[in-house]
Amino acid sequence: MPALELGRQRDRTAVLGLFLAAALVAVQSVCNAPPRFPSAELKEEYQGITSFSYNSKVEYVCRPGYIRNVNARSTLICGRHKTLSSKPCAYPGEPDNGRLVVAENFSFGSTVSFTCNTGYRLVGNPQIQCMLKNGVVTWDRDIPICEPIPCLPPPKIANGEHSDADKELFEYGASVTYWCHTVRRGETPFSLVGDASIFCTTTDNINGVWNKPAPECKVVNCEYPSVKNGKVLSGYRHTYAYRDTVMFDCNFRYTMNGSETSTCKENGLWDPPLPLCQLSSCDDPPDVRNAFKAKLAGNLFPVDTIITYECKEGHQFSPGENTWHIKCLPGFTWSETPQPCERIHCPNPDVKNGKLLNALRENYAYGDTLEITCNDGYAFKGHGNSIVLQCSSDGRWDPEVLECTPERHCPRPDTAHGTEVYNSRNDYTVGTQVRLGCDTGYVLRGQDLTECQADASWAPPLPFCDKVCDPPPQITNGQHSGLRTEKFPYGAEVTYSCAEGLSLIGDASIYCTSDDGVNLAWSGPAPECRVVRCPKPTVERGRMTPQRFTFPYGVAVQFSCDEGFVLHGDAESRCLADSAWHPPLPTCQPGGYQTRADSGIALVQLHEWGCFVTGGLGLTEGLRQEGDAQHVGPCSSLMPSVFVLVLLKKKRDTCEKILQNREAFQCGVPLTELKTLLEVQKLYLEIQKLERDLRSTTNG
């Protein structure tokens, strides 16, 4: 016998031995090749054979390096030792609603088990074994069956019933639904307490049970859900039954503690429990007389809210204090109620040299007014002698109480030749108004009404009285412009006018003036109004311009002489008060160019050989006295007074003399005479030519 599993393998050997002892004798079953061992091998004669008949024997010997264990067997017999019989059982199949639990394989001696699907229970033996029966390897018994797990009929309940009441068999998974019986009108209906449906299940996979107790049908009433300081917001009804749900809300300034919804439970209680409405705000802060609450935001005042009161204008809580704070305490009460604000008081005024008018009060407060006046002879500086004070919001008098000081007077308005027409007071104290007038013969200069100012001066300044001229003299047959004027002060002017047809002789206007700076008088005598007619002026061989037919006072006429005659005397004469012409009328005498008495024109140009002059009468006369003028002749018959002279060189000093007087000759050039000037210029140019000719003749 080979040493099987020697030493270290003793246990395995013992098991093998046990198997061999338990082995059953088989019929003509064929064994496969015997097993191989690490310590022993088949004797040579059995090697290579793969099939053995029932009861045939194989023998082992130890492999080199192993020695035989005397207690271990060294032979195996087919059909007796399991290791040699490996023919398996057939697949046993599976029960309906169940399944086979495969251990390893279906080999000889192996066991397989079965389980049922959920809801089914196993009837029979859960295990079968592969064994030798009548020499054949087969299963020792039939496979089990799986039958549905049954429940007992669902429980009956009072006042209700369930579905499938006529059914007898309730298998795993079946469910039933309960309902309560209806009640007659007016009776409280039953509430189904618990789940309406139950179903058949199992806990041990053998017997069925209902998953939970059947519901109950009973009358469930919850009491009215009253929440203090709160109200039912929704779900309101008369009575509350199982599962009724209500929603709550808290009153203003209350906060909910708990759930805002609650449901009536089967035990007749609300769940979750009804909430509490807890006060969460102080009341409105109290009103305080003469104060207002500053910066009040909203109307909820949680604990620690601070309210500030401010006194109205002119009021205070205590001297200097016009605010007050209160706080909402944890018990939702205000820390205090402030005192009312009191009116601010002003001190009683102490008026020196004065008194209070209508001083009815002892005590003056904000807004009160008070009139004080100064005693006679005293006044407030700049305020007259009476003043109204008002007690202001800061407890002071407005304006401040002033002192009555000795009154100030303006100087008596002493105006020379003036009188006081009116005064508002006769002591001329500050504020007095005075109106002044002047004596007859004087006029008032400045503003007549003036007032005494705080600085004891009159404003506007006092006027003064100015002397006036006597009314201007009246004249016969005429009048002056000052008839409606009362006074004629210095500078006043009047103008006389005469009746129609009369001439005004003398100055038409006179004015009030003064020679010595003291006395006033008219600047001259008044003019006269009378008839003045001059005879028609006649100048032989002369003409008069303008042409007219009457010659009253003041008329002036001009005269000129016919050609070839020269005017002797003044060219203009005027009719004066003595009805005669002044200066006397001129005469026209035959003669050269001295026919005009008025000034002419002169053009003097100095040349190396002399000078060239055009000019009027005065000039020619001067020249004639010199005796050496060379007469060139008149420039034009239209302008006989204009002529041209050429002086010789030796008369150079005469030319210079003329030049010095040139301005005298240039007066009154009428525009028309410019033409003449141009002609003169032309003439001059001709003279120049003549000069050149002369020179060439002298040289030749």
Ligand X SMILES: *[C@@H]1O[C@H](CO)[C@@H](O)[C@H](O)[C@H]1NC(C)=O
Q: What residue ranges bind ligand X (CB under 6 A)?
A: 86, 104-105, 107, 257, 276, 278
Whether the CB-CB separation of 125 and 145 falls below 8 Å is answered with no
Q: How far is the CB of 30 from ligand X (least distance, A)?
A: 15
Element (H, E) at 172: none
Q: How far is the CB of 254 from ligand X (least distance, A)?
A: 11
Q: How far is the CB of 317 from ligand X (least distance, A)?
A: 36
Q: What angle do CA 496, 502, 505 make, to 5 degrees?
A: 55
Task: State which residue, 48 or 330, has the beta carbon closest to ligand X.
Answer: 330
Q: What angle do CA 201, 205, 207 make, to 5 degrees?
A: 70
Backbone φ and ψ for 137, nearest 5 degrees, come out as -80, 115
Q: How far is the CB of 280 from ligand X (least distance, A)?
A: 9
Of 615, 679, 586, 638, the C-alpha closest to 624 is 615
Task: State which residue, 277 or 555, has the beta carbon closest to ligand X.
Answer: 277
Question: What sign has the CA pseudo-torsion 47, 53, 54, 57?
Answer: negative
Of 579, 539, 577, 582, the C-alpha closest to 560 is 539
Task: State which residue, 103 or 165, has the beta carbon closest to ligand X.
Answer: 103
The DSSP call for residue 659 is H
Distances, alpha carbon 7 to alpha carbons 12, 68, 76, in Å = 10, 10, 20
Q: How far is the CB of 255 from ligand X (least distance, A)?
A: 8
In angstroms, the CA 293 to CA 463 distance is 64
DSSP, collapsed to helix, strand or coil, labels residue 509 as strand
Q: How far is the CB of 251 from ligand X (least distance, A)?
A: 16
Q: How far is the CB of 123 from ligand X (least distance, A)?
A: 29
Nearest residue to ligand X by CB is 257
Which amino acid is located at 441 in the chain?
Answer: G
Of 546, 592, 548, 535, the C-alpha closest to 572 is 546
Task: State which residue, 107 or 211, has the beta carbon closest to ligand X.
Answer: 107
Q: How far is the CB of 132 from ligand X (least distance, A)?
A: 16
Instruction: Give the total residue count for the chain.
Output: 700
Which amino acid is located at 546 in the chain?
Answer: P
Q: How far is the CB of 257 from ligand X (least distance, A)?
A: 4
The alpha carbon torsion through 25, 30, 33, 37 (nearest 10 deg) reads: -10
Q: How far is the CB of 258 from ligand X (least distance, A)?
A: 7
Task: State which residue, 107 or 205, has the beta carbon closest to ligand X.
Answer: 107
In angstroms, the CA 264 to CA 273 distance is 10
Task: State which residue, 86 or 513, has the beta carbon closest to ligand X.
Answer: 86
Give 174's contacts (C-beta < 8 A, 6+ positions apart). Answer: 151, 164, 199, 200
Whether the CB-CB separation of 454 and 408 falls below 8 Å is answered with yes
Task: State which residue, 257 or 363, has the beta carbon closest to ligand X.
Answer: 257
User: What is the Rg, in whole angstroms, of the alpha carbon atoms belonging to the chain?
Assistant: 81
Task: State which residue, 35 or 583, has the beta carbon closest to ligand X.
Answer: 35
Task: State which residue, 104 or 414, has the beta carbon closest to ligand X.
Answer: 104
Alpha helix (H) ranges present in 74-144?
Answer: none
Task: State which residue, 221 or 305, has the beta carbon closest to ligand X.
Answer: 305
